[in-house]
Structure formats: C-alpha cells, structure tokens
Amino acid sequence: MARPKLGPEADRWKTVITELGHFALILALMLAATQMLIPAWGAHRAEARLMAIAAPAAITQFLLIGVAFAALTHAYVTSDFSVENVWANSHSAKPLIYKISGVWGNHEGSMLLWVLILALFGAAVGLYGDNLPPSFRARVLSVQAALSVAFLLFILFTSNPFTRLSPAPAEGQGLNPILQDPALAFHPPFLYVGYVGFSMAFSFAVAALWEGRIDAAWARWVRPWTLVAWIALTIGIAMGSWWAYYTLGWGGWWFWDPVENASFMPWLAGTALLHSAVVMEKREALKIWTILLAILTFSLSLMGTFLVRSGILTSVHSFAVDPKRGVVILFILAVFIGGALVLYAWRATTLKAGGLFQPISREGALVVNNVLLTTATATVLIGTLYPLGLEAVTGAKISVGAPYFDRTFVPLMVPLLIALPFGSLLAWKRGDLNAAFQRLGAAAIGALVIAAFAFAAVRRGPWLAPLALVLGGWVLCGALLEWANRIKAFGAPLSDTLRRARSLPRAAHGMTLAHAGVGIMVIGITGATAWNTEAVKAIAPGETLSIAGYDLTFRGAAPRRGPNYQETIGRFEITRGGAAVTVLEPAKRIFTAPRQATTQAAIYNALAGDLYVVLGDGLADGAYVVRAYFHPLVRLIWLGALIMGLGGLFSLSDRRLRVGAGRRVARATPPLPQAAE
C-alpha cells in the first residue's frame, strides 16, 4: 500500500485518524479470534474465568469496530480523497447527510456496517445477557465471534475500505445520484440490523445444540433478539419499497427483484421463527423445528449477503463487481451453514419431542403458519436461484420475474390469511373450531362490508379484487375482534374493559397490532394493484390532462439549480370538479458528479389514494410528455408495515419478554397428582 504524501497539518491528522481506524479494525479481528476460542474452551472445561472473557471481549470488539467505522465516516465527512473508498464514492459538493450515508452506499463500507451491527448484537449480549447461564452465554458469544472473524477477514483481505491512494486525487467520483435520497440513504442500516440481527437466533441455536440443552427457556431468551431483528427488517423493507415507489417514476413498490428477495426471505423465515418460538416457549413443542428454523433464517441472511455482495446478480444493488469476493463469501456461507446443519443433524436426534396437541389447536394453527411461510420462503428461494442454477448447469438463460411469483407465492398467502384469525382464537392443546367460527362471524361480515363498499365505489377492475379485499378485511376485523374479545369490549362495563385492556400483556396488544397491520397491507396491495389507473399525454403549457376525476393543467416548466444538480421543474395546477386541489411540481434532475439523470415524481396524497405525476421528455414548443397515475389505497401498504413493526415494538416491551427477563427456572419433574381425600 502506498503511503500518502503528508500535506499540511490538517491532512496529517486526517491520515492519523484513517490509519487509526484501519488499525482498530485489525485489533478487532485479533480480539474476535480470542473471543471465539477462549470462552469456548472455558465452557468446555467449565472454567468460569475463561468464560468470563466473553462479555468484555464482545463489548470491546464492538468499540473497536465502532472506532473503525467512525474513522471511515470522518474520512467521508472531511472528503479525504486519499482514501480510495471515499474517492470512488463521494464528492466534496455533496450534502453532508449523503456524505455520511455514502459510508455504507458502497461495497466496502456496507460490509463494515455489517460487522459493526454483528458486533453490536454481541456487545448487547455481553451487557444484558446476565440472565443466560454462563456456559451458554460463553458459547453464544463464541459463535458470534466466529462470524465476526470470518467477515473481518473478508473485509481486511478482499474489501478493505481503508485502502489509500497516492497522490490523493483532488476531487471524488461522487455517489450514485439515485442513492442520494433520505429513505434510501437510511434503509440499509435498518435492513442490516434486521438480517444481521438474526445472527443472534443462529448463535443461540448453535450454542444450544452445542450444550445439548434445549427447552422453553431457550425460546424465551431468543425471542427478544429475534423480535428486534424482525422489527428492523420490516421497517427496512418497507422503506426500500417506499423509496422505489416514489423514485423509480411510475409507482411500482415491489418488483420481486433478486435483491428485494434477498431481504424478503429472511423476513419470511424470521416471521415463521417468531411464531414457532411462541409454541416452544408456551408448550415445549416444535423444539427441533424451531432450532432448525433459527439456523435457516440466518442462513438466508447470509445467502442474501452473498447474492447482493458477490455481484452474482447484476442489479442496481450490486456494487461489487469482483468475483473473488463472491468465492470468499460462498466459502464463509458453506462453513457456517454447513457446520450448523451438521451439528443439528448430529444433536437433533437426541432431542425429545415436546408437548402433544390436537391438530385443531393454537399449536396446530401455528404449525399451519410455519408450513405456509416456509413453503413461501422456499418459493422465493427457488425463483431467485433457479435462473442462476439452470444457467450454470445447462447454459440456458431464463428469466423469473413478477409474473412467476404472482402465480406461486400469492396462492400460498391465501390459506395463510384465511387461517390467521382462527389461529389466534383457538385454545392451546385442543381448540374448538366451531366456537371460533361463531366468534368470527362479525369479522366475516366486516370483511364483506369493506369489500362491498370498495367495489361500489369503483365498480370495475378484476373480479379477484373484491375477494382479495374480503381477505384483507377478514384479517383486520379478525385481529380487532380477538382483541375486543379479550378485553370484553362488548357486554362488560367500560371500567371493566379498560382494566382488562391495561392488564392484558403487551405481547397480546402487539399480536393484535401486527395482525391488523397484515390486513391493512393486504387491502393496500389489492387497491394499488387492481384499481391503479394511468394517463400519458404530450401536453403544451395551458393544456389539461385528466385522471381519476382530477384535472391537471400544465403551467410550463422552468430550470432550477440544486446543490449538486440541475433540474427542470414542471408546474401543474390540480383541480377536481373545478375546485382547486393543489399544485404539483414534478422534476427531472441532472446530477453533476457523476453525470446522471433522475426523475422526481410529485405526489398528492388524497384520502382514496395517491395522485402521482411525472414529467417526461421535453418536446418542441414547450410541450412535455406527462404521465399521471392514480394509485388507490397505496399508502396502506406502508402503513400496514409500520403497524406490524409497531406491534413488534409492543411485544418487545412486554415485561415477560424483555432482554434479561425470565431467569432460568429449575425444571423439576412434575409432581404426581395428590390422591383424593
């Protein structure tokens, strides 16, 4: 590595800080190696002093990687172009927030963020994991450190963000303009907290198999961590979808792009894991399956990292174009997934199956949930990998896109959504389906009312749309009804209801919210898919375009200058039935570094949906191609996701599930029933 020429005092300090960051990263690797080996040895020999190293090591490892991350951020903020990574991805004229988000807007920096979050979770176990038995905690942190070692080696040897350039270039290349957007800039940290967070489920599963003790307490320990990861992933995916919606210029919000699938698969598996962990915690059933699911969920996260980071899928997210990296990640993948599965195959046979239950019961419903979610995950996995596999084996090139997933994934969601309200009403062990049917009558009526109302308002579109709405309404009403039942909202005096609502565990409120969010999202997806309209027309200033009852009058376009771009802004007066509604100003931007064009759609959020206007190409005599779309109910998609995340937060704040709660209770053999007097 060439040493940069030392300039004035300020440059020397920049260099010192960057090199300190690099050094901290190397130290973190050494420390992670120690944390991987010594506590594990300690757990094996039952030596408390050796095991005690794990927690402080995990915390220090996080601090060291934090120093490295801060040093790289400093290089970005001060535009130190002697750092190759900064030069390739930043520009001195970029707004500050995009200088910061530029840190993870590229391959090397995003991998550094990946290990930072991995170490953050390890440190959290170090700080708050006092409720875990010492040997178990030592093993969890050892597994977590093994992951750190693998990825720190990967970063230092194939993707070092601290590589220097000499002489330092005067100006950087700039950040890809489509990444210069608030929602996109901050969705990677959420996504990473999500799928790196599932490493906790993995480490807990491997540690439990290693120790050979797996019981209800395990499910209680792992649940808060899985929930944190799940909440972050839910929000991260929703942010990415929201970004695509307003950036890509026609209002698409999900594309079944391999990169989206890479984050969606761990989400689906993680959702299944949250549900099966409940069964394990409450009834000690599904133990063997839950452990496997914990391993698989993080394996899918690792595979997502591989797909995105190796450049094997050439898509907008693939910033890495270096096959060497792909091979290294593939190796890491094989070692961890393969190792965990071998350990599982070896130990799982020794596990005893837990509590018995009838098919019609809460457990049975959660098994249905797991079967369908797992099959759905497998469908996404097959659809994503199949073209790669087929090309590798036969050389034939095929495409698997949205039309495939519409026909395979969506049908799996239908029975899941139908079963959902039943599941939360059935009792443990042995449920009464008839009673559930009777109690859900109101939900069915509610769903039909919602669908009839929507259909009367639109009176067109595919015949499936009202059915899909019934489904969404069914889930939403079912969730609310179950909640109302539990707090006796009907029939009991108000004070009694309020008292019940207060004493209901937060996890129960969380479940209601999350399920209601699912219903709301289904309604949004249906509206946006089935009743979406569009109008495209070349119009000159003064002319009008009509869509969904709105009239858009074009008032001309004018140039404007931004901090690092030039834009053309069109002005549209929106009226509805002659009454002024708003003014929309969609724009086309040309960025200066790198020189690229983006479209800025203008969106008016009406109650029934979004009016979405895009300025197209300019024609002769001041006319422009204008595209207008009306996306009915589309915001419910992200609102639904937000409510699901909120439900997760409620559940997380439940006292019984909080990190550190639920100290291990010695499990005595159940006493035989006392003989009757």
Partner 1 sequence: MRFATRSLGRAVVLSAAVVSLIATSYAVEPDERLADAALEARARTISAELRCLVCQNQSIDDSNAPLARDLRVLVRERLSAGSSDTDVMRYIVERYGEFVLLRPRFGLHTLLLWLGPMALLAGVVSMLVRRSRSQRSAAASDLERPLTEDEQRRLDQILAADKSAR
Residues 566-625 that bind partner 1 (CB under 8 A): 594, 596-599, 614, 616, 625
Which one, 84 or 654, has the nearer CB to partner 1? 84
Alpha-carbon gap, residue 274 to 122, rounded angstroms? 20
Alpha-carbon gap, residue 317 to 308, rounded angstroms? 7
Which one, 359 or 441, has the nearer CB to partner 1? 359
Alpha-carbon gap, residue 334 to 292, rounded angstroms? 16
Query: Does 423 contact partner 1 by CB under 8 A?
Result: no
**Considering only CA atoms, which of 630, 605, 600, 594 is closest in space to residue 616?**
600
Among 22, 74, 287, 627, binds partner 1 (CB under 8 A): 627
Query: Does 413 contact partner 1 by CB under 8 A?
Result: no
Query: Does 399 contact partner 1 by CB under 8 A?
Result: yes
Query: Does 536 contact partner 1 by CB under 8 A?
Result: yes
Which one, 125 or 420, has the nearer CB to partner 1? 420
Stretch in the footprint of partner 1 (CB under 8 A) among 134-142, 216-224, 266-274, 530-538: 530-538
Which one, 411 or 660, has the nearer CB to partner 1? 411
Query: Does 672 contact partner 1 by CB under 8 A?
Result: yes
Cα dist from 497 to 100, 439, 485, 489, 493, whole Å: 49, 18, 10, 6, 6
CB of 400 to partner 1, least distance (A): 6
**Considering only CA atoms, which of 159, 468, 137 is closest in space to residue 332?**
159
Which one, 70 or 390, has the nearer CB to partner 1? 390
- 235, 479, 458, 607: CA torsion to nearest 10: -50
Alpha-carbon gap, residue 484 to 84, rounded angstroms? 59
Q: Are 122 and 202 in contact (CB under 8 A)?
A: no
Residues 66-85 that bind partner 1 (CB under 8 A): 84
Per-residue binder mask for partner 1 (CB under 8 A), 320-359, x = binder: -x-------------------------------x--x--x
Q: Are 569 and 563 in contact (CB under 8 A)?
A: no
Assign residue 256 a region: left if phi > 0, alpha if psi is -120 to 50, beta otherwise? left
CB of 355 to partner 1, least distance (A): 11
DSSP 164: B
Query: Does 252 contact partner 1 by CB under 8 A?
Result: yes
Listed in sequence order, the residues at least 6 apart from 92 whose beta carbon sits closer than 8 Å to its beta carbon are 79, 171, 172
Alpha-carbon gap, residue 269 to 253, rounded angstroms? 21
Which one, 349 or 674, has the nearer CB to partner 1? 674
**Considering only CA atoms, which of 155, 1, 23, 8 is closest in space to residue 83?**
1
Among 338, 401, 549, 563, binds partner 1 (CB under 8 A): 401
Among 105, 188, 189, 249, binds partner 1 (CB under 8 A): 249
Per-residue binder mask for partner 1 (CB under 8 A), 85-104, x = binder: --xx----------------
Among 49, 170, 350, 407, binds partner 1 (CB under 8 A): 407
CB of 104 to partner 1, least distance (A): 16
Query: Does 505 contact partner 1 by CB under 8 A?
Result: no
Site size with partner 1, rule: CB under 8 A? 64
DSSP 187-220: HHHHHHHHHHHHHHHHHHHHHHHHHT---HHHHH
CB of 456 to partner 1, least distance (A): 24
Q: Which residue has the tokens 């006493």?
A: 671
Helix, strand, coil percentages for the chain (3-state, nearest 5): 65, 10, 25
Which one, 364 or 446, has the nearer CB to partner 1? 364
- Greatest CA span in the chain, whole angstroms? 101
Query: Backbone phi, then psi, for 53, in 5-degree steps?
Result: -70, -30
Which one, 60 or 370, has the nearer CB to partner 1? 370
Query: Does 556 contact partner 1 by CB under 8 A?
Result: no
Encoding tokens for residue 447? Answer: 């769903």
DSSP 621: G
Which one, 163 or 497, has the nearer CB to partner 1? 163
* CA 203 to chain CA centroid, nearest Å: 19
Among 43, 367, 518, 574, binds partner 1 (CB under 8 A): 367
Query: Does 383 contact partner 1 by CB under 8 A?
Result: yes
Strands (E), 376-461: none
Q: Are 325 and 309 in contact (CB under 8 A)?
A: yes
Alpha-carbon gap, residue 526 to 265, rounded angstroms? 22
Residue 351's DSSP bridge partners are none
CB of 250 to partner 1, least distance (A): 6
Which one, 416 or 443, has the nearer CB to partner 1? 416
Cα dist from 38 to 45, 56, 133, 149, 210, whole Å: 10, 12, 17, 14, 16
Query: Does 258 contact partner 1 by CB under 8 A?
Result: yes
Residues 158-217 that bind partner 1 (CB under 8 A): 163, 165, 169, 173, 176, 178
Among 6, 97, 316, 334, binds partner 1 (CB under 8 A): 316
Which one, 396 or 580, has the nearer CB to partner 1? 396
Query: Does 414 contact partner 1 by CB under 8 A?
Result: no
Q: Which residues bind partner 1 (CB under 8 A)?
A: 84, 87-88, 163, 165, 169, 173, 176, 178, 248-250, 252, 255-258, 314-316, 319, 321, 353, 356, 359, 367, 371-372, 374-375, 378-379, 382-383, 386, 390, 394, 396-404, 407-408, 412, 536-538, 594, 596-599, 614, 616, 625, 627, 672, 674-675
